[in-house]
Structure 1
Amino acid sequence: MEPAALREDMVDSLEHDAKSVVDTDAVGLAMRTVPREAFVDDERRAYADQSLEHRGTRVLSPSTAARLLEVLEPEPGDDVLVVGAGVGYTPAVLAEIVGSRSVHAVDITRPLVHDARRNLADAGYPEVLVDCRDGARGLPEYAPYDRILVEAAAVDPPRALRDQLAPDGRLVLPRGHGPRQTLTAVAADGTETTHGPVAFQPLLADGEQAGAIERNRTAREDAERAARAAQSQTGWEQDWIEWD
């Protein structure tokens, strides 16, 4: 079957009541247009609604990408920042909605940045800017942004990203850690709305990216986090418990 037909079938299934993750014409039309096979190595799986692995990162399933985009609510002409460029598929869909020159993306893993640039160029979106950055710091050179999409989980929206929002901007991220994550939209004034549970890898700090020589979080820090998590679940505030 031709890729165009596969795209039609994919979006039809995402719009169907069984999934109902594509609600707007803008997102549906963009996903029908972007050649997803340019971003997925295995063309047979490009239009399957499943996530994939690439260079230690997750390529979002079409339904997950659609959920993020619908909550983001991009409009033509918006300046958009994507934190976690990955293979470049989500920035490409956004380029169809807002225009290629209005989309900026960052990723902390340099090989992924090169892959995203190549994929976007091959798919017809060479003007999307992709840079290697610590996502929590954003891309201040092109701020402010009307929309910021974070494709990784964080307990709180990074301050730098909130500072880079336009006055009427909208930041969307998976908020929380571990299995307790919620897709959250944050307005520039701090107002939040939630949009159901999600499961994403945590937002990486410099040194944690795939292929890094060492992680920023040391074994000691990992142990401390585990201890704090255990305490929060067992009543650590009770002074009669001897934690020594």
Structure 2
Amino acid sequence: MDPAVLRDDMVASLEHESKRVLESEALSVAFRTVPREAFVPDGHSAYADRPFERHGTRILAPSTVARLLEALDPREGDSVLVVGAGVGYTAAVCAELVGGHNVHAVDIARRLVWEARENLDCAGYGSVLVDRRNGDRGLPEYAPFDRVLLEAAAVRPPDALLRQLAPDGRLVMPMGLGEQSLVTISGDESVERHGTVAFAPMLVESERTDTVEHNRTAREDREFAERDAERRRGWEHDWIDWDQYR
């Protein structure tokens, strides 16, 4: 079937009242324009509304991408940072909205960075910059950003990304550990919630899906608990060997 027809069907389903995750006219046009088949590997249905795994990373379903970008609300000319480039599809939709040279994306997985670059180039969005970085460090050399999108969950927004956000900018991310919410954080750090979501946790250097521990939020919770315990620790908790003073 003609991919353009499949794109129209996909957009119609995302706009339908049963989902209603796609409301912006500009975003609908972008979804109809970007050839998703250029980003979805063989064996997967490009326009099916379901996620898939790629190199140990979950690639988002179209409805999830729509929710993220409706919350992000990128406008023409905005500078956008996508944290979690994946296969490059979200960055391509952003490029349709703001212009490819205004879109920057990072991913911790080298194979995904290479694949995203190739996919974007083949789909006509070669001007999008994709780099291998720790997502929580952002891309300071291109800051400030009008829009920052995290495609992975964290307990709180990384400080580096907040510093790279323009004063009137907007950061969108899944926030939380067990129960997550999709949130928009403005330049003044006010928070708006957009319902519940379920995302994989953000990975940092040396934390990969094939290791024992790769959940950044769980690791942070443990470290915070240890630091808190140390602050409460007093001399009365230490064992004193009185024999050494005899």
TM-score by length of 2: 0.86
Q: Following superposition of structure 1 onto structure 2, how do residues 131-150 of structure 1 map, counting pairs within 5 Å?
A: 131-150=131-150
**What letter is aligned with 1:127?**
S
Matched, 1:204 2:203: yes
Q: 2:21, 2:63 within 8 Å by CA — same for their partners in 1? A: yes
Structure 1 pair 222/74, CA: closer, same or farther in 2 (3 Å)? closer
Deviations 1:79-115 (A, max 9, x none): 0000000000000000000000000000011111001
Structure 2 equivalent of residue 129 of structure 1: 129
Amino acid at match of 2:73: E
Asked whether the 8 Å contact 1:83–1:149 carries over to 2, the reply is: yes
Q: Report the counterpart of residue 239 of structure 1 in structure 2.
A: none
Deviation (angstroms), 1:43: 6.1
Query: Is the deviation greater in 202-211 or in 66-75?
Result: 202-211
Rg larger in 1 or in 2? 2
Give the AA of the match of 1:65: V
Partner of 1:25: 25
Q: Which runs of structure 2 are paired with 1:169-188 in the superposition (5 Å)?
A: 169-178=169-178, 180-188=179-187
Aligned equivalents of 2:223 and 2:162: distance in 1?
A: 28
Mapping for residues 1-244 of structure 1, pairs under 5 Å: 1-42=1-42, 45-178=45-178, 180-210=179-209
Is this contact kept in 1: 2:202–2:215, CA < 8 A?
no
4+ aligned runs moved over 2 Å, structure 1: 209-217, 220-227
Quote the offset at 1:116 in angstroms: 0.4
Q: Secondary structure at the match of 1:147?
A: strand
Deviation at 1:24, TM superposition (A): 0.3
The secondary structure found in structure 2 opposite 1:203 is coil
CA contact (8 A) 1:206 1:216 kept: no
Q: In 2, distance between residues paired with 1:225 and 1:162?
A: 20
Shift of 1:204: 0.6
1:86/1:21 CA distance change after superposition, 3 Å: same
Unpaired segments ≥5 residues, structure 2? 227-246
> Alpha carbon RMSD of aligned pairs, Å?
2.4
Give the Cα–Cα distance (whole angstroms) in 1 for the partners of residues 117 and 22 of structure 2.
26
Unmatched 5+ stretches in structure 1: 228-244
C-alpha separation between the residues in 1 aligned to 2:119 and 2:106? 15
Tell me how far 1:211 sits from its aligned partner. 6.1
Deviation at 1:205, TM superposition (A): 1.2
Cα separation, partners in 2 of 1:58 and 1:135, compared to 1, 3 Å: same
Distance 2:222 2:184 in 1: 31
Q: CA deviation at 1:150?
A: 0.2
Task: Assess, with a 3 A threshold, how the Cα gap between structure 1 residues 43 and 208 changes in structure 2: closer, same or farther.
Answer: same
Tell me the distance in 2 between the aligned counterparts of 1:141 and 1:224: 29
